[in-house]
A and B are shown apart, each in its own frame.
Chain A
Amino acid sequence: MSPDAAKIRIDELFRSKSLPPAPLQNIGPHIPRWGVINTSLMVPESVGLCIGPAGCMREPFFDARKYGNGHRLFLLPLSENDVIMGSHLPFVKTALLKIAREKKPRAIFLCSMCVDELLGTDYEEIAKAVESITRVPVIAVKMNPVCKKKNPSQEQKTYSFFNKYFHSCHSEQAAIHEPGVNILGGYTPISEMSELPAQLSHAGYPVVNQMGEFTSYDQFKHMAVASHNIVIHPRGLLLAEEMMRFMGIPYCFSPVSFGLGTIGEKYRDLEQFLHTKFEIDAIRDGAERYLQENVHYFSGKKIAIGSGINGSPYEMAQAFTEYGLDVRVVFSDTIYDYEWDHISWLSRNNSGLTVYRTSHPQLKDSPHEWDEIDIAIGSDAGHYCNHAHVIPLSFEVQGYGYEYLEYLMSEMLGDLKPVSRVRDDNGQQDRENL
């Protein structure tokens, strides 16, 4: 089957402002996910309780297990009759009390599913009731993909659940005043190789709080009293907006980027936001030099970029096109507002670029459509491009700035670079470190 119905040229996409509709959805492991429960359990010393049909419980169980959070998750499968009659609420309360009593968590995330959303079950009341008895914060969160198409996105809404939590600890932490910066939007901390944390520290912000790096609940609470929020992925935008509204913490949206110009622009935004000046020129020069020395290895190589990357496939496509690389294909399912500028640029400068709707059913039956692609970035692009060298660049590897660009380039070089040359480069690097 031809995937014609699933594709659109980039200039047509810019004109029509919408991806081809997918009549049915082809979803699978090629599209990476983190999940509501792993997002919630980023709060150290917390536990999660999922409630709903047994069939909906397996996904959070295996999600939590995958990222080492299985021991902090509880499940309460319900019967259909109980859900429809609303007679499950006492069971939920009993389960919460039992967990609070026996496990002594610092916080409990109570995660409900689509069926309760549609039936309008009020878990906020149960959360309050249990909280008043146990003195343990109980935060009601939702895993309701039936609302996926709504704006803000499900991913943004999930991430914003932290607002309830931060809000509750904001007043008790109010005495703490320190120029701390929260990094929002990531699932794991930014790599230690990245220049951003060091730049923030040199610029007078020694406290950099990142999701996924804390080991204690008390440390995590400090995020509620930070002075600034930096959002590196749009999934953190709703949380940042709510933290600004309810706690007065300003934010700057500075998404992960791969274009030298765009990265520079984002750093300038941050300088303005934080009223500081970064010492970034040498790092930028290094990245530029690295790019110039290696870009010729990609000559004649055809590239596909997927939505599974930890960043914007459109921004990356623009960056690569600027570097003279041959980007042929983008796989995408969602377009964030900020990506339209990149789509506009691509429609003028790489009009041959084709965009495929990642979840379109016709892609499944087109195994040879992308055989010409040499390098696929993102797990979904790798899934479809059978002969390509694949770089997943998933959210498990969080980078930022010029370092992330260099990291990506080195991963892309893979087998392209002769071994002796790699060895020479490493030797040079070692000498520089000495």
Chain B
Amino acid sequence: MKGLHHLLPPLAADYTGICSALYDLDAMIVLHNPSGCMRTVTDIDEPRWASRRASFFSSGLNESNVIFGDDDAFFGNIVRTFQGTDKKFIALVSTPVPAVIGMDMNDIATRLESSLNVPVFAFNTTGFENYSCGITEAYLALAKHYLSSPQEKKPTSVNILGATPLDTGSDRHLNMLVSLLEQAGLTVNAVWTMGSRLEDISRSSCAELNIVISHTALPLAQFMEEHFGIPYIQSLPVGMQPSARFFALIDKMMQGTVSVEQWAEKETDGPELPQGSRALIIGEPVMSYGIRQCLINDFGVDDVQVASLLPLNMIPETDRGSNDFTIEKEEDLENLIGHNHFDIIVGDPYFKNFIGTKKQTAFISLPHPALSGNEYYQSDYAYFGEPGYRYFYKSLFQ
């Protein structure tokens, strides 16, 4: 988003996306920035920090380093810190100051790699872009380095692509998805990148299907399709009927190996919303379209508009509504909500501020940590499968 912000912070930055994608992979992550700037990641954007600290460090960049280009000191400091650890790789992550003065991480990465004999990834992030660019870049770097053609495929196995706390929320939500997949007779091979170890990630090319659950992972899915012939779907099983369709689609792609009966038996039992009901969903695109399907199919909402925080170009045009758009400025959202009536608004709790005194609008809170950081990370909500349906039902009717 551009323009003046007052009610919303900017989305988490590209360098946060890199850190989030690599957090669980036993890496040493070095942010090349002034030390205080690391706090955006540790204090705000990385909810796992409170319970499980990864090896995140700041280079402690200062004015003198900038003026004199002290790359040798930076190199030496990383070597000293890395020695004695058992980390599997190093990630060098750039931030606004190195970006603006044109520092290039690649050269230092090459030197470190030959000196320490471990993989070293250089990410020339800038801090001017949002987290999605960072996650995508980290995924592709991992895939290019660690994936190779498998000797054999693991039958009925799937990878989940695009899971990070920034979009997915806490591992409670991810576990729900894994559980749904397992109940359908599937094996989760690897989760990019929450909970899976680097070894699991390295074996991702054995899977039969990739399930893309956030837009950040679409380039990775395309890469894996091109190089290893793994097909993918981009969908989220939000609520009841969309979950049935989700598993039917997987079943079709995996040629009848998925158990879909359980979904055929389940029907929504609640009242539908009155005819002409109108809803607005604000959030990450893949999640928003999953919710859209739920509101239309499980609750009978007639008109569902998506206001995406990120570009919609990764969503097929056939899935998009005619009024869907990407929010460019905070005032776009103010105008949209101020000048239109919505019976339901779904989104991060921060968006509640835009509703003001419109009491006739029901707000369904769905925290988006890439926006609101760790503030609502542990709050009680659900979106996958039946628990998701129950949460939406409760928010609308109770």
Q: What is the interface of chain A, defined by CB distance below 8 A to chain B?
A: 1, 22-29, 33, 52-59, 61-62, 73-80, 83-84, 95, 98-99, 113-115, 118-119, 144-150, 154, 359, 361-362, 364-365
Contact = CB atoms under 8 A, between A and B. Distances in A.
A54 B11 contact: yes
B97 interface: yes
Interface residues of B, number: 60
Contacts of B11: 54
B43 A74 contact: no
A75 B10 contact: yes
A146 B49 CA distance: 24
Contact of A74 (B4, B42, B58, B62): B4
Closest 5 interchain pairs by CB? A55-B13, A55-B127, A54-B10, A145-B34, A23-B77
Contacts of A99: 4
A232 to B, nearest CB: 23
B99 interface: yes
22 contacts: A22-B60, A24-B57, A25-B58, A28-B38, A29-B42, A29-B49, A29-B50, A55-B96, A55-B126, A56-B37, A56-B96, A59-B37, A62-B43, A73-B6, A74-B5, A74-B6, A75-B4, A77-B128, A79-B2, A83-B128, A145-B34, A149-B64
Interface in B4-39: 4-6, 9-16, 30, 34-39
B81 interface: yes
A113 B100 CA distance: 12
A119 B100 contact: yes
Contacts of A150: 63
A252 B55 CA distance: 43
A147 B64 CA distance: 8
B130 interface: yes
B373 to A, nearest CB: 6
B85 interface: yes
B326 interface: no
A28 B100 CA distance: 25
B40 A23 contact: no
A25 B5 contact: no
B61 interface: yes
Given A22-B60, A29-B42, A56-B37, A78 B9 contact: no
Nearest to B59: A24
Q: Which of B5, B36, B40, B59 is packed against the most chain A CB atoms within 10 Å? A: B36
A155 to B, nearest CB: 10
A59 B40 contact: yes
B66 interface: yes
B78 A28 contact: no
Contacts of B64: 149
B273 to A, nearest CB: 33
B9 A27 contact: no
B62 A26 contact: no
B42 A27 contact: yes
Given A25-B57, A54-B10, A148 B97 contact: no
A59 B36 CA distance: 10
B84 interface: yes
Contacts of B38: 25, 27-28
Contacts of B35: 25, 27, 145, 148, 359
A153 B126 CA distance: 26
B153 interface: no
Interface of B: 1-6, 9-16, 30, 34-40, 42-45, 49-50, 53, 55-64, 66, 76-78, 80-81, 84-85, 95-97, 99-101, 126-130, 373, 375
Contacts of B53: 28, 364
- Chain B binding site: helix, strand, loop or mixed by DSSP? mixed
A83 B102 CA distance: 13
Contacts, number: 172
Given A98-B4, A146-B66, A27 B10 contact: no
Nearest to B127: A55
Nearest to B374: A62
Contact of A58 (B1, B44, B101): B44
Given A98-B4, A118-B101, 9 more contacts: A1-B84, A23-B77, A24-B58, A29-B50, A61-B10, A76-B5, A118-B97, A147-B62, A149-B64
A33 B34 contact: no
A26 B96 CA distance: 19
A23 B57 CA distance: 10
B81 A58 contact: no
Contact of A61 (B1, B9, B50, B58): B9
A55 B49 contact: no
Contact of A147 (B12, B30, B63, B127): B63
B59 A55 contact: no
Given A27-B35, A53-B128, A365-B85, A95 B4 contact: yes
B7 to A, nearest CB: 9
B2 A27 contact: no
Contacts of B4: 74-76, 95, 98-99
Given A27-B36, A73-B6, A74-B5, A55 B61 contact: no
A208 B45 CA distance: 40
Contacts of A78: 128
A80 B100 contact: yes
B95 A59 contact: no
Contact of B9 (A58, A115, A147): A58
Contacts of B14: 55
Nearest to A77: B10
A362 B6 CA distance: 39
B29 to A, nearest CB: 10
A54 B127 contact: yes
Contacts of B126: 53, 55, 80
A62 B59 CA distance: 23
Contacts of A74: 4-6
A114 B66 CA distance: 11
A220 to B, nearest CB: 23
